[in-house]
């Protein structure tokens, strides 16, 4: 008989609705029962694409005898971390404080009032890996809870105090950002850079998209070739590795090895959003066509497999299919030879994808690109163009063949924050590549979020099956506003300016504290044992980092100096952390580069369809301008120019489109041609 999770909308929770465990969703009722029956709470947190979450579920939560122990002695709560990042943050911090590490599945034991006293991650069903079995842990906790309650209460109080700190903002005077601080951060990253395979540190390797964003901005300011090489070498190695889906596009979550070969096979919306934008910007800097191809293939994957019919974007795809990790993506040479029997240059194609080597994954192959195409073509004595054509033909054939397999499950809930990331990236990439399709995808997603996910004017976090649920977190507001800023810059549509401005005001009302800066949960959200305030950039930017990005850009677009002063207070407080731990503050470091870069305001006045205006925008598109604020204004269509400070007073020149390049609202002579604009920008 289904348990209480059967009425939830989260795919992850619904995966557990038929467990024999008497699961509760996160709710007051569960804690009231724990108090009434004087039982500890077992809290299990995971997400639908998590491989080890599935393993623990199959081993323990689907086992009747294990469930019997859980049901007799505990009140059991299951949480989708993607729905409730606030709950996950609080208890992840507790487990990290207890054990020095964290991850999912997250297993935490709480007193009936919600305070944690013990925790870990995955526990096996039998003693192995140097770990006790899950049932052994349960039985020991029951014993301690009964016999040493006073000690548990003391431990829980101490642990709760340890995770309840908050930052204290100071005035910015005397602690302003300096170029030297960011230069030292870049130097520290260089000391950890893997010169052979790219990325930072050892295995496992996660795509360092936010750190690369900072380094690309650092290169733009300093022309440091070291910073540029860290970016390009990492991007080159990732797109050649198994972490990149060589057939269908899109990136897997991370690589278990140090050379980006063997991925952990789930695909997350947020990874692909962040990687789309760094590859698009790297294409701007280098002109490397392969980077553009990665962007186009990844967006094609998102459109094909991760987009709701109404325009929102799904959250993730599973690592497993047919009960095995990676089964959908791996190949035998025999299967490939059969599928490609009519492919020209077959042996060269096999060599290009590393299929002339020993198997690289459990006796099978993950497709990757171990060497340069030109080298493979030369070794097989065929023209590079012929090999490139054969590879593309083979890619399409193998992709079609793979499509007959059982595909990994898709978590089709729609999260405001992650959609904001993708809206931002699609609008940015659409502007850079001149793609109307990318912009249309971004517009449809923004329409979806704004139209379906803020009932009664209050933004919600998650949507599925027609239901918008849970109050938004800081990251939901900040990521969405960043997307709207980029949409406004790409389209000039005043609607996005108005929405951006209104949501920024709401973000400050809901999450800002004059003494501590931004909290991750709103003032009117559910009170947890502590109010989370995550500052580091992990898999995604922290809410605070993204909020700083919003404040510094909206302060320019809307002439809001108070917004900039708030961002500067956060910068003053966290600048030392960025200098010391740049890999943990990559996104915030990128915003600091923007703040130091003397932002340039560029207003293009004229009909977007006119040849002259198109030529001006094409010139802007060619150049990496990380510190630019871009605005387009069509006097024939837009009636509220006076409400947008950057537009006020900028007009056509003798009836012709013009570009105004401005610093701090002081503009140079209007540029009427791409050559004049290029000179004013100071680019080659």
Cα–Cα distance measured from residue 454 to residue 433, given in angstroms and rounded to the nearest whole number: 31
**Which helix H or strand E contains 171, and what residues bound it?**
none
pLDDT surpasses 70 at 665 = no
pLDDT surpasses 80 at 311 = yes
**Average pLDDT estimate for 453-478:** 96
pLDDT surpasses 70 at 401 = yes
φ/ψ region of 118 (left if φ > 0, alpha if ψ in -120 to 50, else beta) reads beta
pLDDT of residue 60: 97
CA contacts within 13 A on the Cβ side of 417: 24
Residues 367/354, Cβ–Cβ less than 8 Å: yes
Residue 541: which of 556, 520, 524 has the closest Cα? 520
Backbone angles phi, psi at 118, to 5 degrees: -155, 155
pLDDT of residue 639: 59
Q: 597 exposed, middle or buried (CB, 10 Å; 0-12, 13-18, 19+)?
A: middle
pLDDT surpasses 90 at 637 = no
Backbone angles phi, psi at 383, to 5 degrees: -65, 145
**Average pLDDT estimate for 485-506:** 95
Residue 677, both tokens: 């604009």
Q: For residue range 266-281, what is the model confidence (pLDDT) as tens digits?
A: 999 999 999 999 999 9
Q: Sorting pLDDT into bands at 50, 70 and 90, what band is 383?
A: very high
Sign of torsion over alpha carbons 258, 264, 267, 268: negative
The domains of the chain, with CATH numbers, are 4-162 (3.40.30.10), 179-321+411-596 (1.50.10.10), 329-404 (no CATH), 600-681 (3.40.30.10)
Number of residues that this document lists for the chain: 684
3-state secondary structure of 259: coil
Q: Using alpha carbons, list the distances in angstroms from residue 330 to 248, 259, 493.
A: 13, 18, 45
**Which helix H or strand E contains 523, and what residues bound it?**
none
Q: Using alpha carbons, list the distances in angstroms from residue 293 to 91, 210, 250, 583.
A: 41, 20, 11, 27
Q: Using alpha carbons, list the distances in angstroms from residue 17 to 22, 72, 434, 502, 547.
A: 9, 18, 46, 40, 37
Residue 422, both tokens: 């993708």
Backbone angles phi, psi at 428, to 5 degrees: -65, -50
Percent of the chain beyond pLDDT 90? Answer: 89
Cα–Cα distance measured from residue 553 to residue 593, given in angstroms and rounded to the nearest whole number: 13
Q: Which residues contact 669 (CB under 8 A, 6 or more apart)?
A: none
Q: For residue range 180-202, what is the model confidence (pLDDT) as tens digits?
A: 999 999 999 999 999 999 999 99
pLDDT surpasses 50 at 675 = yes
Q: What is the pTM of this model?
A: 0.96
3-state secondary structure of 177: coil
Q: Sorting pLDDT into bands at 50, 70 and 90, what band is 684?
A: low
Cα–Cα distance measured from residue 629 to residue 646, given in angstroms and rounded to the nearest whole number: 9
Name the CA dihedral angle for 641, 643, 648, 651, rounded to a multiple of 10 degrees: 0
Q: For residue range 334-354, what is the model confidence (pLDDT) as tens digits?
A: 999 999 998 889 999 999 999
Q: Which residues contact 218 (CB under 8 A, 6 or more apart)?
A: 182, 183, 186, 224, 227, 593
pLDDT surpasses 60 at 332 = yes
Q: Which residues contact 396 (CB under 8 A, 6 or more apart)?
A: none
- Give the position of tokens 């006796």: 363
In the chain, what is the greatest distance between 2 CA atoms, to the nearest angstrom?
Answer: 87
Residues 51/266, Cβ–Cβ less than 8 Å: yes
Backbone angles phi, psi at 76, to 5 degrees: -110, 130
Residue 304, both tokens: 């094909």
Q: Sorting pLDDT into bands at 50, 70 and 90, what band is 150?
A: very high
pLDDT surpasses 70 at 560 = yes
Cα–Cα distance measured from residue 591 to residue 68, given in angstroms and rounded to the nearest whole number: 51
Residue 248, both tokens: 């269908």
DSSP code string of 197-244 = T-SBSSSSB---HHHHHHHHHHHHHH--HHHHHHHHHHHHHHHHSTTB
Cα–Cα distance measured from residue 145 to residue 624, given in angstroms and rounded to the nearest whole number: 60
Q: What mean pLDDT value characterizes the chain?
A: 94
Cα–Cα distance measured from residue 306 to residue 74, given in angstroms and rounded to the nearest whole number: 38
3-state secondary structure of 341: coil
Rg (CA), the chain: 26
Cα–Cα distance measured from residue 563 to residue 20, given in angstroms and rounded to the nearest whole number: 52
End-to-end C-alpha distance for the chain, whole angstroms: 69
pLDDT of residue 130: 82
pLDDT of residue 137: 96
DSSP code string of 32-44 = HHHHHHT-PEEEE
pLDDT of residue 174: 45
Cα–Cα distance measured from residue 603 to residue 666, given in angstroms and rounded to the nearest whole number: 12
Q: What is the DSSP letter of 251?
A: B
Cα–Cα distance measured from residue 268 to residue 599, given in angstroms and rounded to the nearest whole number: 32
pLDDT surpasses 60 at 172 = no
Residue 70, both tokens: 């859980």
CA contacts within 13 A on the Cβ side of 143: 6
pLDDT surpasses 60 at 283 = yes
Cβ atoms within 10 Å, residue 316: 29
Residue 211: which of 584, 571, 552, 548 has the closest Cα? 584
3-state secondary structure of 600: strand
Q: 120: which strand partners?
A: 107
pLDDT surpasses 60 at 641 = no
């Amino acid at each position: 008989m289904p348990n209480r999770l059967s009425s939830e909308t989260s795919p992850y929770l619904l995966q557990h609705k038929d467990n024999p465990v008497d699961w509760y969703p996160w709710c007051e009722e569960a804690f009231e029962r724990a108090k009434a029956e004087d039982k500890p709470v077992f809290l299990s947190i995971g997400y639908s694409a998590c491989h080890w979450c599935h393993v623990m579920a199959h081993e323990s939560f689907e086992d009747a005898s294990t469930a019997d122990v859980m049901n007799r002695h505990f009140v059991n709560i299951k949480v989708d971390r993607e729905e409730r990042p606030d709950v996950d943050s609080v208890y992840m911090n507790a487990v990290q404080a207890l054990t020095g590490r964290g991850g999912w599945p997250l297993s935490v034991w709480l007193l009936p009032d919600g305070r944690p006293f013990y925790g870990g991650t995955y526990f096996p069903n039998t003693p192995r890996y140097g770990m006790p079995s899950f049932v052994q842990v349960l039985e020991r906790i029951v014993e301690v809870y009964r016999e040493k309650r006073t000690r548990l209460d003391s431990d829980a109080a101490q642990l709760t105090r340890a995770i309840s700190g908050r930052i204290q903002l100071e005035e910015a005077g005397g602690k302003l950002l300096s170029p030297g601080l960011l230069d030292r951060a870049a130097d520290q990253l260089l000391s950890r850079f893997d010169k052979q395979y790219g990325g930072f540190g050892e295995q496992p390797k996660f795509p360092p998209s936010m750190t690369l964003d900072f380094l690309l901005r650092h290169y733009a300011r300093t022309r440091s070739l070291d910073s540029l090489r860290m970016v390009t070498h990492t991007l080159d190695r990732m797109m050649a590795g198994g972490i990149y889906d060589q057939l269908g596009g899109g990136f897997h979550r991370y690589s278990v090895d140090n050379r980006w070969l063997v991925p952990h096979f789930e695909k997350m919306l947020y990874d692909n959003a962040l990687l789309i934008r760094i590859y698009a910007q790297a294409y701007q800097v280098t002109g490397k066509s392969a980077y553009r191809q990665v962007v186009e293939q990844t967006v094609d994957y998102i459109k094909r497999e991760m987009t709701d019919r109404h325009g929102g974007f799904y959250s993730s795809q599973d690592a497993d299919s047919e009960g095995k990790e990676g089964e959908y993506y791996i190949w035998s040479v025999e299967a490939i030879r059969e599928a490609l029997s009519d492919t020209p240059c077959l042996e060269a194609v096999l060599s290009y994808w590393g299929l002339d080597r020993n198997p690289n994954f459990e006796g099978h192959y993950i497709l990757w690109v171990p060497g340069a195409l030109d080298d493979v073509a030369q070794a097989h004595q065929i023209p590079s163009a012929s090999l490139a054509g054969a590879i593309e033909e083979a890619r399409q054939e193998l992709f079609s063949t793979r499509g007959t397999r059982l595909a990994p499950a898709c978590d089709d809930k729609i999260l405001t924050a992650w959609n904001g990331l993708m809206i931002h990236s699609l609008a940015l990439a659409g502007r850079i590549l001149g793609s109307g399709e990318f912009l249309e995808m971004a517009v449809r997603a923004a329409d979806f979020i704004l139209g379906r996910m803020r009932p009664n004017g209050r933004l919600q976090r998650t949507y599925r099956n027609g239901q918008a649920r849970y109050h938004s977190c800081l990251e939901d507001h900040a990521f969405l506003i960043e997307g709207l800023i980029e949409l406004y810059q790409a389209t000039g549509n005043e609607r996005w300016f108005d929405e951006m401005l209104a949501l920024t005001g709401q973000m400050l009302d809901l999450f800002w504290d004059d003494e501590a800066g931004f909290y991750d949960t709103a003032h009117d959200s559910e009170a947890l044992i502590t109010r989370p305030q995550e500052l580091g950039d992990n898999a995604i930017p922290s809410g605070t980092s993204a909020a700083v990005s919003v404040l510094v850009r909206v302060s320019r677009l809307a002439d809001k100096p108070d917004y900039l002063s708030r961002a500067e207070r956060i910068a003053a407080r966290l600048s030392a952390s960025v200098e010391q731990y740049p890999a943990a503050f990559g996104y915030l470091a990128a915003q600091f580069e923007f703040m130091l870069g003397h932002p340039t305001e560029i207003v293009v006045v004229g009909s977007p369809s006119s040849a002259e205006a198109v030529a001006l925008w094409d010139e802007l598109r060619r150049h990496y301008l990380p510190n630019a604020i871009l605005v387009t204004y069509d006097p024939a269509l837009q009636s509220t120019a006076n409400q947008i400070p950057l537009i006020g007073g900028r007009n056509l020149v003798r009836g012709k489109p013009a570009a105004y390049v401005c610093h701090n609202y002081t503009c140079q002579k209007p540029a009427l041609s791409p050559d004049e604009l290029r000179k004013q920008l100071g680019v080659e």
